[in-house]
Structures are given as structure tokens and as C-alpha cells.
């Protein structure tokens, strides 16, 4: 069972406050990004992964796939 600890809706995706404060504060080990552009672009996904603290996994989905 998945335990969702924080669910921001934000067009900035992964930004400094999420990466440095919220993820460690909530003890999250997974960050989900729902964005059509990110879902199909390897370079953008790599940049987002680099923004996350070590040990945090990144998953990304298109809007359509996330609604299923």
C-alpha cells in the first residue's frame, strides 16, 4: 500500500523548497511528477532527477496515464 505524505499541485514541478525541505521533512522516498512534457523528454527527466536529494526515486507520468 502506498502512503501519500504530501501532494502539492505546482507548475514548478520540483523546486528548491520541495527538494530541500518537504521531501526530507516527510521522509518521502519517491517523487511523482505528472506532466505531459516531462513524460516524453529524457533530458527534462534527467534534470529533475538531478534536483532531487540522493535516495529519492523519481516517477513521471502523462496526465492521461495518471488518471487511469
Q: What is the DSSP letter of 52?
A: S
Residue tagged active-site, from 6, 15, 59, 65: 15
Q: For this structure, is 6 an active site residue? A: no
Q: Which residue, 23, 31, 20, is CA-closest to 57?
A: 31
As a whole number of angstroms, the distance between CA 65 and CA 20 comes to: 28
Report the run of H or E that residue 59 belongs to, with start and end.
strand 57-61
- Catalytically active residues are 15
Amino acid at each position: 500500500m502506498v502512503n501519500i505524505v504530501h501532494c502539492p499541485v505546482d507548475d514548478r514541478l520540483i523546486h528548491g523548497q520541495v527538494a530541500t525541505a518537504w521531501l526530507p521533512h516527510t521522509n518521502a522516498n519517491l517523487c511523482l511528477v505528472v506532466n505531459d512534457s516531462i513524460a516524453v523528454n529524457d533530458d527534462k527527466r534527467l534534470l529533475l532527477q538531478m534536483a532531487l536529494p540522493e535516495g529519492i526515486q523519481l516517477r513521471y507520468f502523462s496526465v492521461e496515464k495518471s488518471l487511469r
